[in-house]
Amino acid sequence: MKINPSAAAVELSAAEAKKAYTFGTREYRNLQAARRDYPDYEVVTIETKRTRNDFSELTLKSISAYVQKHGTDEQKEHFAFISKRHIDDDGAYCEPLPFFQIKSWFLDTFPEIKQERKAYREKVQAILDEAKSKVAA
Protein backbone atom coordinates (compact mmCIF):
# COMPACT_ATOMS: atom_id res chain seq x y z
CA MET A 1 0.00 0.00 0.00
CA LYS A 2 1.28 3.41 -0.97
CA ILE A 3 0.03 6.86 -0.15
CA ASN A 4 0.38 9.02 -3.27
CA PRO A 5 -0.09 12.70 -2.32
CA SER A 6 0.37 13.99 -5.87
CA ALA A 7 -2.57 11.86 -7.08
CA ALA A 8 -4.46 12.13 -3.77
CA ALA A 9 -4.78 8.36 -3.73
CA VAL A 10 -4.19 5.30 -1.58
CA GLU A 11 -2.68 2.81 -4.02
CA LEU A 12 -3.00 -0.95 -3.60
CA SER A 13 -1.69 -3.79 -5.71
CA ALA A 14 -4.27 -6.26 -6.98
CA ALA A 15 -3.19 -8.86 -4.41
CA GLU A 16 -3.35 -6.30 -1.58
CA ALA A 17 -6.77 -5.11 -2.72
CA LYS A 18 -8.13 -8.65 -2.69
CA LYS A 19 -7.01 -9.09 0.92
CA ALA A 20 -7.97 -5.54 1.93
CA TYR A 21 -11.59 -6.13 0.93
CA THR A 22 -11.82 -9.15 3.24
CA PHE A 23 -13.07 -8.06 6.65
CA GLY A 24 -10.69 -8.61 9.56
CA THR A 25 -7.46 -9.13 7.63
CA ARG A 26 -4.32 -7.14 8.38
CA GLU A 27 -4.62 -5.46 4.99
CA TYR A 28 -8.25 -4.49 5.75
CA ARG A 29 -7.17 -2.84 9.01
CA ASN A 30 -4.31 -1.02 7.24
CA LEU A 31 -6.65 0.26 4.53
CA GLN A 32 -9.17 1.49 7.12
CA ALA A 33 -6.38 3.29 9.00
CA ALA A 34 -5.23 4.94 5.76
CA ARG A 35 -8.79 6.00 4.96
CA ARG A 36 -9.11 7.56 8.43
CA ASP A 37 -5.79 9.41 8.01
CA TYR A 38 -6.57 10.51 4.43
CA PRO A 39 -10.38 10.80 4.16
CA ASP A 40 -10.27 12.79 0.89
CA TYR A 41 -7.98 10.32 -0.88
CA GLU A 42 -9.34 7.86 -3.42
CA VAL A 43 -8.54 4.13 -3.05
CA VAL A 44 -7.00 2.90 -6.31
CA THR A 45 -5.96 -0.59 -7.40
CA ILE A 46 -2.76 -0.49 -9.45
CA GLU A 47 -2.45 -3.14 -12.15
CA THR A 48 1.07 -4.47 -12.51
CA LYS A 49 2.53 -4.75 -15.96
CA ARG A 50 3.35 -8.29 -16.94
CA THR A 51 6.44 -8.93 -18.92
CA ARG A 52 5.99 -11.19 -21.89
CA ASN A 53 8.23 -14.21 -21.63
CA ASP A 54 8.41 -16.14 -24.86
CA PHE A 55 10.16 -19.02 -23.18
CA SER A 56 7.84 -19.55 -20.23
CA GLU A 57 6.70 -22.90 -21.65
CA LEU A 58 10.20 -24.40 -21.59
CA THR A 59 10.54 -27.42 -19.35
CA LEU A 60 13.52 -29.47 -18.31
CA LYS A 61 12.18 -32.28 -20.48
CA SER A 62 11.93 -30.09 -23.59
CA ILE A 63 15.36 -28.60 -22.97
CA SER A 64 16.81 -32.08 -22.56
CA ALA A 65 15.20 -33.28 -25.79
CA TYR A 66 16.55 -30.29 -27.73
CA VAL A 67 20.07 -30.73 -26.33
CA GLN A 68 20.03 -34.45 -27.17
CA LYS A 69 18.86 -33.78 -30.72
CA HIS A 70 20.85 -30.65 -31.63
CA GLY A 71 23.71 -30.42 -29.14
CA THR A 72 27.34 -31.36 -29.59
CA ASP A 73 28.86 -34.05 -27.41
CA GLU A 74 30.40 -31.36 -25.22
CA GLN A 75 27.04 -29.57 -24.81
CA LYS A 76 25.32 -32.85 -23.97
CA GLU A 77 27.95 -33.62 -21.37
CA HIS A 78 27.69 -30.13 -19.86
CA PHE A 79 23.89 -30.37 -19.75
CA ALA A 80 24.06 -33.75 -18.01
CA PHE A 81 26.50 -32.30 -15.47
CA ILE A 82 24.36 -29.27 -14.56
CA SER A 83 20.99 -31.03 -14.61
CA LYS A 84 21.58 -34.25 -12.68
CA ARG A 85 22.68 -35.18 -9.20
CA HIS A 86 26.18 -36.57 -9.17
CA ILE A 87 29.29 -37.14 -7.12
CA ASP A 88 32.23 -35.03 -8.21
CA ASP A 89 35.88 -36.05 -8.47
CA ASP A 90 36.48 -35.27 -4.78
CA GLY A 91 33.62 -37.55 -3.73
CA ALA A 92 31.31 -34.67 -2.79
CA TYR A 93 27.59 -34.97 -3.52
CA CYS A 94 26.36 -32.28 -5.94
CA GLU A 95 22.79 -31.17 -6.55
CA PRO A 96 21.67 -30.08 -10.02
CA LEU A 97 21.47 -26.37 -10.78
CA PRO A 98 18.11 -24.66 -10.27
CA PHE A 99 15.87 -24.78 -13.34
CA PHE A 100 16.17 -21.06 -14.09
CA GLN A 101 19.96 -21.33 -14.27
CA ILE A 102 19.64 -24.34 -16.58
CA LYS A 103 17.16 -22.39 -18.72
CA SER A 104 19.56 -19.43 -18.86
CA TRP A 105 22.44 -21.72 -19.86
CA PHE A 106 20.24 -23.29 -22.55
CA LEU A 107 19.21 -19.95 -24.09
CA ASP A 108 22.83 -18.73 -24.02
CA THR A 109 24.18 -21.96 -25.50
CA PHE A 110 21.56 -22.21 -28.26
CA PRO A 111 20.93 -18.62 -29.44
CA GLU A 112 19.23 -19.90 -32.60
CA ILE A 113 16.19 -20.66 -30.42
CA LYS A 114 15.64 -16.93 -29.86
CA GLN A 115 16.14 -16.16 -33.56
CA GLU A 116 13.68 -18.87 -34.62
CA ARG A 117 11.11 -17.62 -32.12
CA LYS A 118 11.51 -14.05 -33.36
CA ALA A 119 11.09 -15.12 -37.01
CA TYR A 120 8.00 -17.12 -36.07
CA ARG A 121 6.44 -14.15 -34.24
CA GLU A 122 7.12 -11.87 -37.20
CA LYS A 123 5.54 -14.37 -39.61
CA VAL A 124 2.42 -14.70 -37.44
CA GLN A 125 2.17 -10.92 -37.10
CA ALA A 126 2.42 -10.52 -40.89
CA ILE A 127 -0.43 -13.03 -41.35
CA LEU A 128 -2.56 -11.20 -38.78
CA ASP A 129 -1.85 -7.82 -40.38
CA GLU A 130 -2.77 -9.21 -43.81
CA ALA A 131 -6.04 -10.64 -42.48
CA LYS A 132 -6.85 -7.36 -40.74
CA SER A 133 -6.25 -5.38 -43.97
CA LYS A 134 -8.52 -7.78 -45.92
CA VAL A 135 -11.31 -7.33 -43.35
CA ALA A 136 -10.92 -3.56 -43.45
CA ALA A 137 -11.12 -3.50 -47.26
The per-residue pLDDT for range 81-120, each reduced to its tens digit, is 899 887 778 888 888 899 999 999 999 999 999 898 889 9
Within 10 angstroms of residue 12's Cβ, the number of other Cβ atoms is 22
Contact status, residue 1 vs residue 38, Cβ threshold 8 Å: no
Which pLDDT score is estimated for 34?
94
Split at pLDDT 50, 70, 90, the class of 52 is low
Phi, psi values for residue 10, rounded to 5° = -100, 115
- Burial profile 102-118: b = 16 or more Cβ within 10 angstroms, e = fewer: bbebbeeebeebeeeee
Provide the H-helix boundaries in the chain: 14-20, 26-37, 60-70, 73-83, 99-109, 112-136
pLDDT of residue 24: 92
Span 60-69, average pLDDT: 94
Which DSSP helix (H) or strand (E) runs through 44?
A: strand 42-46
Domain boundaries, the chain: 2-46, 60-136
Q: In terms of Cα–Cα distance, which of 137, 135, 65 is closest to 106? A: 65
Least confident range from 12-26, 55-69, 88-102: namely: 88-102
- The answer to whether the CB of 85 falls within 8 A of the CB of 95 is yes
Task: Give pTM, 2 decimals.
Answer: 0.53
- Residue 51: pLDDT above 70? no
**One-letter identity of residue 89:** D
* Confidence band of 6 (pLDDT split at 50, 70, 90): very high
Q: Mean of the per-residue pLDDT values for the chain?
A: 90
- The strand pairing partners of 45, in sequence order, are 12
